[in-house]
């Protein structure tokens, strides 16, 4: 079980390129900072990222920045350069005038649910991964993304979306390898063979009867040693981690299927609907059926306000 892939899939973390713009200096793009997760890459030239309430920092060609929701910010050719909103820039299109030019790729990600929120809280507002620090395969993926963004062949949008997905996996790997202390607990556990076996097994078979004894046997550790190691590395007890995993799966099933609450309960490992409803209410403050109705109403309202989301 590839746990990172599982987490990204359950967070609905998938890319949707929303702009690839050519700009000649001086240039600037302004962002509201409201989108949950956005990737920025400058092709062909340098620039600066200028946050609203922090010091600007330089970007070289090929550098990647992941931006989570927060304060507004700007991508600019130089500090103080005038900037247009990304919405106005998209409507205007690329600049074909002569002079020093860059191509700016800005790709948003769909990130949903409690799993998505967990991923995002593991990131600061801005994560810069310099080209020089990228894995060679990541640089290759960015080069392919640059080449495809500059073309106009059939199926281009699908390729750009998938390459943006690939970019996110490499970027998260790089971020958490550079600063393991900020990585999610499940990611840190993957470096421990015994804990990794348990994390992978519960993600693969979350509905199994996972007692502490069963988890400890999977880890090939004593119950006491396993419980202590899991809490130290992951930051939560094995039982709490399993409950969080099951609640995330239940959220997904409630939102994206019309399965009954009883069916959802069984699918995530609860023996009866009452036990599931109790656990769900403890985690979310609402009964599963009411939570489903409120979430679907809110999602419909969000789509109506932002058709590009």
> What pLDDT sits at residue 241?
96
Q: What is the mean pLDDT of the chain?
A: 89
Question: For the residues 299-308, what does the mean pLDDT come to?
Answer: 57
Question: For the residues 258-282, what does the mean pLDDT come to?
Answer: 95
One-character DSSP codes across 229-298: HHHHHHSS-HHHHHHHHHHHHHHHHHHH----HHHHHHHTT-SSHHHHHHHHHHHHSS-HHHHHHHHHHH
> What pLDDT sits at residue 211?
96
Taking the C-alpha atoms of residue 158 and residue 288, their distance in angstroms, rounded to an integer, is 35
Confidence band for 167, pLDDT divided at 50, 70 and 90: confident
Residue whose C-alpha is closest to residue 164's, from 309, 1, 7, 19: 19
Taking the C-alpha atoms of residue 28 and residue 74, their distance in angstroms, rounded to an integer, is 7
Taking the C-alpha atoms of residue 59 and residue 63, their distance in angstroms, rounded to an integer, is 6
Question: For the residues 241-261, what does the mean pLDDT come to?
Answer: 92
Torsion on CA atoms 167, 149, 89, 165, rounded to nearest 10: -20
> What pLDDT sits at residue 73?
96
Domain spanning 3-179 has what CATH number? 2.60.120.10
Confidence band for 101, pLDDT divided at 50, 70 and 90: confident
Per-range mean pLDDT, top range of 33-42, 159-168, 259-268, 291-300: 259-268
Taking the C-alpha atoms of residue 295 and residue 291, their distance in angstroms, rounded to an integer, is 6
**Residue 107 or residue 265, greater confidence:** 265
> What pLDDT sits at residue 150?
72
Helix (H) or strand (E) holding 63: none
CB neighbour burial string for 137-151, b if at least 16 within 10 angstroms, e if fewer: ebbebbeebbebbee
Confidence band for 75, pLDDT divided at 50, 70 and 90: very high
> What pLDDT sits at residue 308?
42
pTM: 0.80
Beta bridge partners, 20, equal 105
Over residues 45-63, the pLDDT tens digits come to 899 999 998 999 999 999 9
Interacting residues of 209 by C-beta distance below 8 A, sequence separation 6+: 269
Question: For the residues 109-127, what does the mean pLDDT come to?
Answer: 83
> What pLDDT sits at residue 145?
85
Class of domain 187-299: mainly alpha
> What pLDDT sits at residue 162?
84
The three-state DSSP-derived secondary structure of 140-208 is HHHHHHHHHHCCCCCCHHHHHHHHHHHHHHHHHHHHHHHCHHHCCHHHHHCCCHHHHHHHHHHHHCCCC
Q: Is the predicted pLDDT of residue 307 greater than 50, yes or no?
A: no
According to CATH, where is 2.60.120.10 located in the chain?
A: 3-179
Question: For the residues 202-206, what does the mean pLDDT come to?
Answer: 95
According to CATH, where is 1.10.10.60 located in the chain?
A: 187-299
């Amino acid at each position: 079980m590839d746990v990172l892939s599982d987490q990204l899939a359950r967070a609905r973390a998938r890319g949707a390129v929303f702009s690839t713009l050519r700009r000649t200096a001086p240039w600037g793009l302004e962002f509201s900072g409201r989108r949950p997760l956005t990737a920025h890459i400058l092709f062909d030239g340098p620039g600066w990222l200028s946050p609203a309430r922090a010091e600007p920092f330089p970007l070289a060609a090929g550098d990647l920045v992941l931006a989570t929701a927060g304060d507004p910010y700007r991508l600019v050719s130089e500090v103080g350069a005038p900037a247009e909103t990304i919405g106005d820039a998209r409507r205007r299109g690329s600049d074909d005038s002569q002079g020093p030019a860059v191509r700016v790729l800005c790709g948003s990600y769909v990130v949903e649910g409690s799993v998505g929120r967990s991923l995002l809280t593991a990131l600061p507002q801005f994560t810069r991964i310099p080209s020089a620090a990228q894995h060679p395969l990541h640089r290759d993926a960015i080069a392919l993304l640059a080449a495809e963004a500059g073309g106009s062949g059939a199926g281009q949008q699908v390729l750009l979306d998938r390459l943006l997905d690939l970019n996110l996996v490499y970027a998260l790997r790089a971020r958490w390898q550079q600063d393991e202390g900020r990585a999610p607990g499940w990611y840190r556990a993957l470096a421990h063979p015994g804990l990794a076996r348990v994390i992978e097994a519960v993600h693969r078979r979350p509905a199994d009867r996972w007692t502490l004894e069963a988890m400890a046997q999977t880890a090939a550790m004593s119950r006491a040693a396993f419980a202590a190691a899991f809490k130290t590395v992951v930051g939560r007890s094995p039982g709490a981690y399993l409950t969080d995993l099951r609640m995330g799966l239940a959220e997904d099933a409630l939102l994206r299927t019309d399965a009954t609450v009883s069916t959802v309960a069984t699918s995530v490992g609860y023996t009866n609907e009452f036990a599931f409803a109790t656990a769900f209410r403890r985690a979310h403050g609402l009964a599963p059926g009411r939570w489903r109705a409120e979430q679907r109403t809110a999602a419909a309202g969000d789509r109506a306000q932002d058709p590009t989301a």
